Structures are given as C-alpha cells and as structure tokens.
Amino acid sequence: MTHRAAAGHPGGSLSEIDILVALYSTRLRIDPKQPDLVDRDRFILSKGHASPGMYAVLAEHGFFPHKELESYRVLGGICQGHVDMKWTPGVDFSAGSLGMGLSFGIGCAHAARLDDSERTIFVMLGDGELQEGSVWEAAMAAAHHELGNLKVFVDRNRIQNDDFIDAQMRMFDVAAKWRAFSWAVKEIDGHDMEDILKGLEWMDGITDGPAVIIAHTVKGKGISYMENNPAFHGAAPSDEQLLQGLTELGVEV
C-alpha cells in the first residue's frame, strides 16, 4: 500500500499488526455484513496514521474486497491516509490529530453503559501520542467513572514522527503512569501471539474499571531496514526496498 502510494506509515503499521490480528480474530464482536450494527464492539485506532495495518485486517475479515487496498491515499478511495469512518466500512473513529481517541472511547463506553449494552470499547494509542496532555485528562476521567468496558493498548515502539521517543521527550515508566491514574495495567510482548492472547484474557477479567496493556513492540517489525528506524515512521519503501521487505516477510515475489 505505502509503496504504491509513495507515502504512508509502514513502521507503525508493522508494530501494531500482531495485536490487531489477535483482537479482530478472537475478541471483537463484529459483523462485516453489518458494519454499523448498534451493539457491536468498537475499535478506535487513535494512532490513525498507521492505517495500512488496520485496512489489511479489515480486508482480511471481509469488510471490503482486497482490491480496495489499492485505493490507499487515492483521492476518492475508501482507504484514506488516516482512518475515516465516513469512507471505510469497519472504521469506528475518524483519526487525524493525535490524542483524541481515548476521549472518544470514553464517550462510547459511557454510551454503552447508558444503553445497558455489553459492547466493549477497545482503543489503541501510540507511545508518542502519550505526550499529548489530553490523553492523561481522559485517563483520569475513565478511572473516575470506573469504565470497566474500556480497554486500551499502548503500542510501545519507542519511536514517534521525528525521532526516538527518548530523544524528543522521555516517557520514563509508562506502566507506572497508568497505575498512578488508577488503571489496571499489564505489560506484554506485542509480537508474541501467545502473550497477546493471554493479555486479552486478562483484559476480559477486569470489569470494575479501565484496563491498559503496554505492548512492547518494534517499529517496522519483520523488515530489517525498517526495524527501529525513525525514518520509516512516515516513508514508503523504494522499489528495491519493497522487494527486500516482502522477501524478508516470506512473501513470494
């Protein structure tokens, strides 16, 4: 997708992808034939620039034909650069500026409670996004309202738009921050499927307040020249890099 568009965000898509696969395959109560079903679970990709990962998963689950992936970043296409609920079946939140997704998730969780609904609200944040003050206002509000139907993943890949997180603004002990805001917290390997599934099971058992999983991930996971490389936060691979990357991922080219 990013190669075809000569733009996009491959690094963060690869750091999030294992979690999205697990979530969509084992947890989300959704129906591709009824993407707007009122009582469905919700997934909010707050780090919405990492849209290629989400589009790939949505296509795999039948929300739209794989052919539509070719419309990524094409004017009028259904797969825009940032996820957008107006254009893409299966997208529950239109992303753009970072720091808004958790607040939106709180609104969805409150709505579910008012509707006496069992739907669960899942949110994915980037760790660079945690530098936004609005995230922590939302974190405080979620704990205050004891939103047990709100589940959050932090894609802790340690790289943001400009550089490594620690070079821009150190986050120190991220898990301790969430605990200080009265969240239930668990840390996992965000690329170990068994660890991810155990994390999801742990989330299922937290019902008296919000829960967050800190997923330790690798930006650009699986492609040697992208791994831990800030340059591929928002850069497409060249023709040569595309072939190398697909080969490293085990795709026949």
Domain containing residue 189: 2-248
- Residue 253 resides in a domain: no
Q: Render each residue's pLDDT in the chain as its tens digit; 253 residues.
A: 999 999 999 999 999 999 999 999 999 999 999 999 999 999 999 999 999 999 999 999 999 999 999 999 999 999 999 999 999 999 999 998 899 999 999 999 999 999 999 999 999 999 999 999 999 999 999 999 999 999 999 999 999 999 999 999 999 999 999 999 999 999 999 999 999 999 999 999 999 999 999 999 999 999 999 999 999 999 999 999 999 999 999 998 8
pLDDT for 22 equals: 98
pLDDT for 53 equals: 98
What backbone phi and psi angles, to 5 degrees, belong to 155? -80, 95
- Residue 203 resides in a domain: yes
Secondary structure, 3-state, 62-93: CCCCHHHHHHCCCCCCCCCCCCCCCCCCCCCC
**Total count of domains within the chain:** 1
pLDDT for 96 equals: 87
pLDDT for 253 equals: 84
Output the DSSP codes for 95-135.
--STT-HHHHHHHHHHHHHHTT----EEEEEETTGGGSHHH
C-alpha–C-alpha distance, residues 117 and 87, integer Å: 26
The CATH number of the domain holding residue 92 is 3.40.50.970
**pTM score > 0.95 for this model?**
yes
| Residue 135 burial class via C-beta count within 10 angstroms: exposed 0-12, middle 13-18, buried 19 and up | buried
| CB neighbours of residue 189 within 10 Å | 15
What is the crossing angle of helices 10-26 and 51-60, to 10°?
Answer: 30
Angle CA(101)–CA(52)–CA(166) in degrees, nearest 5?
60
C-alpha–C-alpha distance, residues 253 and 251, integer Å: 6
- Residue 157 resides in a domain: yes
Residue with tokens 């239930």: 184
C-alpha–C-alpha distance, residues 9 and 54, integer Å: 12
What backbone phi and psi angles, to 5 degrees, belong to 215? -95, 110
pLDDT for 40 equals: 98
